Amino acid sequence: MEKFRLFLDDNLKEKNTTDKYSFPFRVGYEHLSNYEQNSFPIHWHYEVEFTYVTEGCMEYQANDTLYKINAGNAIFTNSNVLHTARTTDGASDCSYLAFVLNPVIIFGYENSLIFNRYVDPICTDSGLFAKYLNGNSSFGGKVIALLLESAHILNAKEDGYELLLTEKLCSLWFLLFQELKPYLNKKETGTAMDIKRLKEAIGFIQSHYHEDISLQEIAASCYVSKSECCHLFKRTLRQTPFTYLLNYRIQKSLPLLLANDKSVTEIAEMLGFHGSSYFSETFRKFMNCSPSSYRKTHRK
């Protein structure tokens, strides 16, 4: 069975998250095992997101900070924040609900009083990229309860459900604003610039992954030195630029392996590998099987 894939542009922005002009809120019932390596790729979007773990445990990364989220707890991820998640401690899966919300449903139109006073201060605060929600705390418990009520209303789709959903989501945002208000615009951070540079570097890699690119070229794409480029990737992604490049090449190889018209050698050349043996060795490192085995298993 082919795994799920997110549709991202060259700058890691996810496409087709919500429909801004109809009802910009969706709930996804998801499992990390549906993604390759039990992890969805790092990405960002304008919408804010709440992730509620229903079973198991995940290691969730928002910008350069890691969170361990057990069942019954959740996390709020702010607008335009890079995020990814993976299973922890060798677990085979983690089940969760992803609530993706375009804040336009709260403020109605830009420069409205609600936008300026309650939404924009949260969504544009570069120091506020995530908030852990403990299900046993008063604040976290109330937010999670509203999220689950919203999911129930959306599933039932009874007459007038959009109005009821808007009420629940506005109540949720009020709780969020009350909790975060003391911390807004209080922290100076270099994270925003790091993330901007990281997006530029990753965009360069994703546009040129099939070429023989160097660390110098990756560093130049985001206007930093080679050493700072390595530190940037290690701080935010916990891996080197070269490891990210190799992993991205492997991910791009998967749909090619499931097609019928290319040999392993041809695919290796298309991806920028110097020979099929190096491609196979790297593939096994990331996927725990050979390219041929992956092709045979997933075609079934």
Which pair of structure tokens corresponds to residue 92? 């085979």
| CB of 204 closer than 8 Å to CB of 210 | no
Three-state SS string over 149-189 comes to HHHHHHHHCCCCHHHHHHHHHHHHHHHHHHHHHHHCCCCCC
- Between CA 118 and CA 120 the distance in angstroms is 6
CA-to-CA distance for 80 and 217, rounded, in angstroms?
26
Token pair, residue 200, equals 């530029």
Residue 59 to residues 93, 144, 150, 187, 193, Cα–Cα distance (Å): 12, 19, 25, 25, 24
CA 107 distance to own-chain centroid: 24
Positive or negative, the Cα torsion across 54, 58, 63, 66? positive
The pLDDT of residue 152: 97
Query: Looking at residue 205, what is its pLDDT?
Result: 93
Which residue in this structure is represented by tokens 């039932």? 156
Asked if 70 contacts 125 with a C-beta cutoff of 8 angstroms, the reply is no
Across the chain, which has 300 residues, the per-10-residue mean pLDDT values are 68 72 89 90 92 96 92 96 89 94 91 93 89 97 98 95 96 96 70 83 92 94 93 88 93 87 90 92 91 84
Residues 151 and 27 sit within 8 Å (Cβ to Cβ)? yes
pLDDT at res. 190: 60
Domain boundaries, the chain: 25-183, 191-299
Q: Are 78 and 129 in contact (CB under 8 A)?
A: yes
What is the structure's pLDDT at 3? 62
pLDDT of residue 291: 92
Give the fold, CATH level 3, of 191-299: Arc Repressor Mutant, subunit A (1.10.10)
Q: Classify domain 25-183 at the CATH topology level.
A: Jelly Rolls (2.60.120)
> What residue has token string 């445990």?
57
